[in-house]
Every structure is written in C-alpha cells, then in structure tokens.
Structure 1
C-alpha cells in the first residue's frame, strides 16, 4: 500500500503470520497505546496484496462482526481494484438473493423499510453485479440470517479466510457465536487481540469459542509499546530530530505511541494547555471521526449540561482558535477536523459513559439538521441509531437524497 508507513515491527509481523499459517485461532495481548491498530492494518494490507481473503474487524465499532464483514465485501465490490473485485465475484454469485438481501440490511439498515424500490446508487452498484444470478425463492429471503448467509458464502471459498480483530473484548456479544461457527465450519484463520489489562474478560470470551478440536495458539509475549530503539527508528523514518531530553519526555509518559506520533507531527496537544473544555471538544471530534461545520459542532458542544450554562459563542470560537494554533485541529473546506496525527485522540481518555453521552448529543443535533448533513455524517448517524428505527429511517431517507444529488 503506497504511503503506508510501517517501521521496525517486521519481527512481530512475521511471527504473527507464522502463527496464523499453522493455527486456526491465535490470541495476542497488547498494552494500550502500543500501535496495535496500525500493526493490524499493515497485516491486513499484506494479506490483501497476496490476494488473500482478509477482514479487519474493529471491536469499537457499533456493528457486529457479521455486519462489518458484509460491509467490507460490499465495499470491495465497488472499488476500482479489479483483482479484489474478481476475488469476491465467484463466491458472491453462489449466494444469489440471499446475500443480496443481507447486504441491503447491512449497508444502511434497510430492514426497517421492507419494500424500498431504490436504495441508492452506492448499494445498487453492488447489487446489480449479482442480479442475473438469482435462483432463490424471494419469499423465503427473511428465513436467512446474516450468519447463515456468510457461512454459506465462506464455504464456497477454498482458501483461508483471515480475520484480524482489533480489541476483541469490545465486540458486541452477538459476534461471539459466529466466531465459534467460523472456527468450526469455515477455513478461518482468526487473530484475537485483547488488552492485557482485563484477563478475566479475555478468559470469559475465549470460553465461548468452543475451541475443542480447533488448533489454537496463545502468544506468550505482549504486543508492547515502542522501545527506545524503535522510537529512534521512528524519528529517523520521519526525518525528525530526537535528543535525550525528548527521549526522557516520551519515556516519562510510558512510551505511548500517540505521544510519540504527536511529537513527530509537531503537536504538543496532549501535554500542556488542555483544560476540560478543550478536551471535551476534542472528544466530540474523536467520537464523530468525520469533518463537521463549526456551527454544527458548536450545537453539539453546547448540549453539555455544564458548558451550556452561560454559554457564549465567542468562547467557543476562542476554543477552536486555540486548538488550531496548537495544531490539534484544522479547517478544510469550511469544516473542522482533527489534525492528521495517527489516532491522535486516543491519547485523551474517552470513557464509555462519555462516548455514549457524546454520541447521543451528536445524533440529537444531526436529527434536527439532517438535510444539512453530508454522506459521511449520515452514515455515522445510521450506524449509531440501531435501537431507534424511526430515527434510523429518517437518516436513511436523508442519505438516499444526498446520493441522488451526488
């Protein structure tokens, strides 16, 4: 992958590949802020370059394993990468209407609009590719679960299917039974990663996988944060100066990858001058993870029960200006977004409670301004309104309108 920087982790990379070659399940513990996500994406890119079937699964997403897999198949079908399209073409045809219906459900929650005649060009670009292969009884489509459809799909593939799970402990519970099914019935090679701070939860999850008769391996070494040698290599790679004072500074903060990359990218945001108000604004952008107009961001920010008291527009503008000066934020196309620093906002702790509150505030704001939202913002809203079908339907309709415009 052009432009993907990967520094001084080759030993760990080859070690994991060897483990996956000889085992169906591999378990890896990691320290927080170690750079594991970047490592897994490099592993994913390597398998894709070899034309292997591979999925990168994000445990923090508000989607099940099954939904993420189907979404990635769907995405691969519309990319211009012809080799990846061809890979999925044959197994996709085996599924006929079953996979067609499931992908409708997965992509934009179409299950709540039973007879929608046009679900937008984005989905149609994929569905049209399999339209001529239909041989299932359309009246029995609803009998198929996502798990059944994927299992049938994977059984048509005669090569290993690699699944790389980032933060297995955060996957929603509906995913674990399907993982067990994949290990039992499919030619799956699954890498389970866990935070080493919660061994009890890891044991509980592993116990649900029914590993009897499944060849598996537990890595003895923990995926660690960069050591001093790797820190030196990182600074060399990015052609940045590193002195003893800076090395001490990084080590005093436990060698967290986000601290290192912030320094490499010239950002001192984590370390000084960040009060609670600025921190909360950064948390909103980190949870949203897409650019947003300043006016809309301000409406989300002022929903905070404390900051809303005596709220002043001028104060919000001052917060934005300070964060932009610190290189934490930037303005592109009249929209605010986090500066391009690798997983920057993971360096600011976001509790589960904060994440839920912020997500609810974003959804409430977006619902009042859905006609103003872009496609990325609407996708966020759809993905995060799983329990409220009326809101989801409103966002889906707004998304379809945006697709027609574009």
Structure 2
C-alpha cells in the first residue's frame, strides 16, 4: 500500500514590507521540498491581503529577479474556516473545501507573518504550523519587548531608548547623543530584514532616520552602535532545541541592509563557519539557545549577535521566520552543520506536527468529558 503524502500548505507573500522576500523564500522551499513525501499546496497572499490558491508551475512572476519578483494573482480566492475538524480551507469561487491540509508552513516575513497574527489564526483553525506559537512570535518581533526579556534573562543587549508616535516630540538629538554618542541606529520596533533601519552620524540624518522608522511602525528604537563582528546562529527544535555552527556577516556597506540581504549578492560576505575559536563558537551557541528559550521560541529561529573586541556577546535580534532565499543564513548554517535544505524542511514540518499533537493533549475544559 502506497503511503499517503503529507499535504503541506505554504503560505507566502502578505501585507508586509518584506513581501518580495517572502516570495523568494517560498520559491526556494518549493524547489527544495521532497515532493515524493509532501504534496505542496500554495497559498499566496497579495499586498492587499487577499488569499490566492496558486498553481506550482506559475505562482510567481519574474521569479529569478529579486527586484521584480511578484505574486501571480489568480481568480481562485480562498478562505479559512475556524472550528472545523477537517477541510478548514475552502475556495471562495466554488465554495468547495480543499482536500485536508495536514500542516501549514507560513513563510511570511515581517508584519502579519511573524508577529503572532497568522499563528493565532492557524491556532483558531486547529491546523499545525511551522515556527513559534503566538507568544514567541509576537515578543520576538517586537524588539523593545524582546530586549526587556533578554536583559531579564541576563543576556547582553544594546543600550537605547524606545519612543511611540505619541511621544515623538520628546525625541531630542542632543540628549541622546550625549548618552550614547555617534553613530546611532534608528529602527522600527516591529520590522525585520533591516526595513526602515538607519545608521546616523549627523543631526539631519537623525531626524530623517526617525521619520523613516515611523513610516513602518508606531514604535521605534534609537540605539547605541555596537562595534563588533556580526555573528548569526540558527536554532532548531521545540522543547529540546539545538544550535547550528555560527556564521559571520562581513558587510561591504554601512551595515547589513535590506539590499545586502536579499537583492545584492555582493552586498555582504557570508563566512560559514565564522573564524572563531571552538570555545567562542560554543559560547555563542549557548547564548543563542538561552535567547531562544527566553523568548518562548519553537520550531526555528535565527539569533543575531555582535561579538565585541572584548569578547562580549550582545544579542541584536531573534528572527522567528528567517529568510529561506538562496543567500539566506538560516539554511546555509544548517547545511554547514550537516542538515541539507531538504532535510531541514522535513524536520521543521515534523516539529510542527509534534507540537500540535502535544498541545492537543491539553485539557480544554475544567471538567473532564465523560
């Protein structure tokens, strides 16, 4: 008897500044997934938030061009119905249920993708999904909240201030420079991929950077510049996570920008593994695992740190749905650590189903059902 394939819904795109990055990630996952084991269902979300059922052969336009890549919108809209035991996904045109999707791989970076929003919807629909749950996703996405929890866990973070749009008038260049010096980094609290991030050296650049960050979020961070090497570590697992070897980002520009991460393949040098002692690699892995657990992460995350000249490890951020593009660090680090791209996807799917089965055992009523 032939074993039935696991149906994997890949959700990608989305109403996010990182929409195009998500399309690249989805393409690479589709190319790498073992289609002898998994049946892929493509669920693309356009920039207006509409969901589309896509065909694998033509779900992207300009697929090979990171600047022009786009979702191929279809006339086949879909909807998710929470509360159904099976067939939670239906087509809107014909009102027909899709064949049961066993697990969702959401690869939407940034807003509404890794901030707990889609995770909450999938929990309501009772569908297993790859990555952190609602809480881990939300707190990791919010750099302000994440820094507070990391600091409470005894981990090093950059010094800085947080401002909401309501307190924008309190942002004073001179006062902040007196505290932290120059340069400074200004960033939206809830964005990834360096979207809206500015490195500033002058007063004009400072206020331009504040304006740029507020375009993407109503809360921003203004932080001291950490002088150090940019090191990244991939983490994989639920209750017993493991850490990959570490890699170094050697930026050829002012900092590791959006362009360098996803557009310009010469924008940064990725040195994998990083040229560090075994002792230092183990320390960074230990910090990465502590950060992962402190922020209640599950499934996967990439932990980004700075290593200063004094060998101090400063946690920069934790990305719970890191890029899966052809130049992304997360899969490259695992490949160097002995887990191929295809095997990595399989492990992530297994972790999603394992967690779902674990959570299904929890009692949902005060009184046990007879």
Q: Would you say same fold, with TM above 0.5?
A: no
Task: Give the TM-score normalised by structure 2.
Answer: 0.32
* Larger proportion of strand: 2
